Amino acid sequence: MYIGPFDTKSEAESALSYLSRRLTRFLILLHKPSQDTTRKVYTFVPTQAWTKTWTDADLYAKYGVNDEEIAFIEKIVRPMELTSDLFNEVSVDIDDDA
């Protein structure tokens, strides 16, 4: 999967935090019938501003996800905790020309 380029490391980290959230991963699962990942699986995933570190609570509030829907999503999608080690392991494409 390719995402970017990003102008800054903080934008790349914001995108990574968003892609690791339960709601985002749930929306991907709705169109992902196999292990193959194509552009189509991101149909339901809205684009965000890469200005902050995203949390599940942020996304649930932003999109008005109710308690019953949250319980369903959290039953299906396991949490994925981000650590500074993960940020260091991920190769990001920073646009130096920006």
Residue at 95 is within a domain:
no
Q: Please tell me the total count of domains within the chain.
A: 1
Do residues 26 and 77 make contact, with C-beta atoms less than 8 angstroms apart? yes
- Domain around 26: 11-44+51-80
pLDDT, one tens digit per residue, over 48-89 is 889 999 999 999 999 999 999 999 999 999 988 766 555 555
Residue at 40 is within a domain:
yes
Residue at 6 is within a domain:
no
Alpha helices, H only, 43-90: 56-62, 67-76, 84-89
Distance CA 38, CA 41 (A): 6
Residue at 15 is within a domain:
yes
In this structure, the dihedral spanned by the alpha carbons of residues 64, 65, 68 and 70, taken in order and rounded to 10 degrees, is -150
Residue at 70 is within a domain:
yes
Within a 10 A sphere around the Cβ of 89, how many other Cβ atoms? 8
pLDDT, one tens digit per residue, over 18-55 is 989 999 999 988 877 666 666 677 778 888 889 999 99
